[in-house]
Amino acid sequence: MGKTPSAVFTDMAGSTARLVALEALCDFRKSGEPVTRILTTLFAQNRLSPRDCQLVRALVFGILRRQQYLDCIVDLFSRHPVTKMKPRTLIALRIGVYQLLFMDRIPPSAAVNETVQAFKAGRQPKWLVRFVNGVLRSISRERNSLPTPECMTVDGLSVPNHPAWLVKRWEKSYGRQRTQDICRINNELPPLTLRVNTGLLPRHQFAAMLEGIGRVEYGKFAETALCLPDFHGDVAGLPGYDRGCFVVQDEAAQLATCLLTMKKGGRYLDGCAGVGGKTTHLAALLPTDARLTAIEPEKRRYRLLGENLQRLQVTGVTTMNMDLAGFSATTGEKYDAILLDVPCSGTGVIRRRPDIRWNRREGDLPGYQRQQLQLLRTAASLVRKDGIIVYATCSLEPEENSEIIDTFLAEYTEFFIEDARRFLPSAAAHLVTAEGYFQPTPEQELDGFFAARLRRKAE
């Protein structure tokens, strides 16, 4: 059985960590809220050691990546099928099985006993506690002879740990083998990727600051990227965090920002700034006398945007807590270029956010599409002649990507596509499609992404 890099727990953390993981997964199943937000709330309510917090995260994210496989194992040992189990019971079994099969530094006895104690803390009936205990002990005895994920198939694919509707869509778009590769990489723990704040210091200087924390590798594609494949601790503890030397950002997002070229004295707009990953990147590249405005409507993200701008020592960026339509109605300015990193399904970043696969539905896509097209139409009203719109998503779905561009270009004939290859490092040229779209997929060892550079005709 393969082990995940998160298996670094040599001592017996108490059942409290398992209980918090249990509550987080139960809350996620009930609410569908992003699991990182759920964990933030639970960590604030429970005084856990940094080590226990690390264990909770490893359990929660690991289980979300291996959920279908874990259920298959439980089904082999339980007379009661998983489809008929109460959610809390099944989640407790997943927590125990994940430790037994994927966290080899946790003793099997601790994996079983502490998980049962966490389940018991929820005032479960004695017979149900005995059931969970019995199933976990049976699996523990046989753990070295169990089928591996690669040996178990669903519809001819090794257990993909993705919902069937999503797998079928990807097979249609990418073929069976590539879909299998995407699912496989999504189920692995991704390396930590940083974007160096080159407005403060060069990449090689920051790399030297990280000496002694494990392997530090230059990115394969982006000239501002560093990868830390062995680091799984608290990012805020890395050298230079408080000084704003870096931001966590995948290479795909770093490359997408590069499509928005800027010139001295220009006027630029980030129309969907979020927490500021791309905003701060644009600010680091901003030429002399150029101006950058960042728009973010959601209050929590807007607050984090401000915190990130402050931490990265970014100045000269105007921020507004409003949506793009409201901004468009109040501004009289036209922009040389607009970055539009639109809200989307996020199916390209499942390896970093494994909960996405379980809280999206195929029926969500038309709603995203309507919102994205409206944002693009609004951006078109704000860009000057000969100006640029960079439309971007972290989705793999054509409804949010090429279909949006096709519809937009049919309506707005004064715009045309510019080949993304012209604006990216040569190492990233193969990530651009024949149509000129920047479109990497996860099996290429970066996030799934889509970006199109649209130019408005000068006349």
DSSP output for 144-203? GGSPPGGG-EETTEE---S-HHHHHHHHHHH-HHHHHHHHHHHTSPPPEEEEE-TTTS-H
Residues near 47 by beta carbon (within 8 Å), at least 6 away in sequence: none
SS (H, E, C) 228-292: ECCCCCCHHHCCCCCCCCEEECCHHHHHHHHCCCCCCCCEEEECCCCCCHHHHHHHHHCCCCCEE
Q: Write out the two tokens for 394.
A: 């972290």
Of 23, 65, 67, 25, whose CA–CA distance to 48 is shortest?
23
Cβ–Cβ under 8 Å, residues 316 and 266 = no
Find out whether 263 and 384 touch, Cβ atoms under 8 Å: no
CA 136 to chain centre: 31
How far apart are the C-alpha atoms of 316 and 286, rounded to whole Å? 10
Round to the nearest angstrom and report the end-to-end CA distance of the chain. Answer: 63
Question: In this predicted structure, what is the pLDDT of residue 11?
Answer: 36
Q: What is the pTM of this model?
A: 0.92
- Rounded alpha-carbon distances, angstroms, from residue 134 to 130, 358, 439: 6, 28, 48
In angstroms, what is the C-alpha Rg of the chain? 23
β-bridge partners, 456: 415
Structure tokens at 88: 């809390």
Domain 15-151 and domain 251-456, same fold? Reply is: no
Under a CB-based contact definition with an 8 Å cutoff, are residues 458 and 386 in contact? Answer: yes
Instruction: Give the Cα separation of 346 and 186 in Å (integer).
Output: 13
- Apex 76 CA angle, 74 and 80, nearest 5: 70
User: From CA 232, how far away is CA 175, in angstroms rounded?
Assistant: 33
Distance CA 286, CA 11 (A): 49
The candidate with the shortest Cα–Cα distance to 245, out of 230, 261, 224, 228, is: 224
Structural domain boundaries in the chain: 15-151, 192-248, 251-456
In this prediction, residue 5 carries a pLDDT of 40
User: Within its chain, how far is the Cα of 344 from the centroid?
Assistant: 12
- Print pLDDT tens along the chain (459 aa): 545 443 333 333 456 899 999 999 999 999 999 999 999 999 989 888 888 999 999 999 999 999 999 999 999 999 999 999 999 999 999 999 999 999 988 999 999 999 999 999 878 899 999 999 999 999 999 999 998 887 766 666 676 899 999 999 999 999 999 999 999 999 999 999 999 999 899 999 999 999 888 899 999 999 999 999 989 888 999 999 999 999 999 999 999 999 999 999 999 999 999 999 999 999 999 998 999 999 999 999 999 999 999 999 988 899 999 999 999 999 989 999 999 999 999 999 999 999 999 999 999 999 999 999 999 999 999 999 999 999 999 999 999 999 999 999 999 999 999 999 999 999 999 999 999 999 999 999 899 999 999 999 997
CA-to-CA distance for 66 and 95, rounded, in angstroms?
11
* One-letter identity of residue 4: T
**CB 399, CB 348: distance < 8 Å:** no
Which residue has tokens 């439309």? 391
* 394 counts as catalytic: yes
Query: Tokens 């707005």 map to which residue?
Result: 412
Residue ranges of the alpha helices (H) in 34-125?
Answer: 35-45, 50-77, 87-102, 108-120
Q: How far is CA 306 from the centre of its chain?
A: 21
- Tokens representing 23 are 């509550």
- Can you name the CATH fold of 15-151? N-utilizing Substance Protein B Homolog; Chain A (1.10.940)
Residue partners of 118: CB distance under 8 A and separation at least 6: 15, 16, 18, 19, 21, 22, 92, 95
Query: How far, in Å, CA of 148 to CA of 161, rounded?
Result: 13
* CATH 3.30.70.1170 assigned to 192-248: yes
Query: Which tokens sit at 220?
Result: 């394969």
- Which residue(s) pair with 341 in the sheet? 392
Under CATH, domain 251-456 is a member of which superfamily?
A: Vaccinia Virus protein VP39 (3.40.50.150)
Q: DSSP alpha helices (H): ranges in 236-315?
A: 251-258, 277-285, 299-311
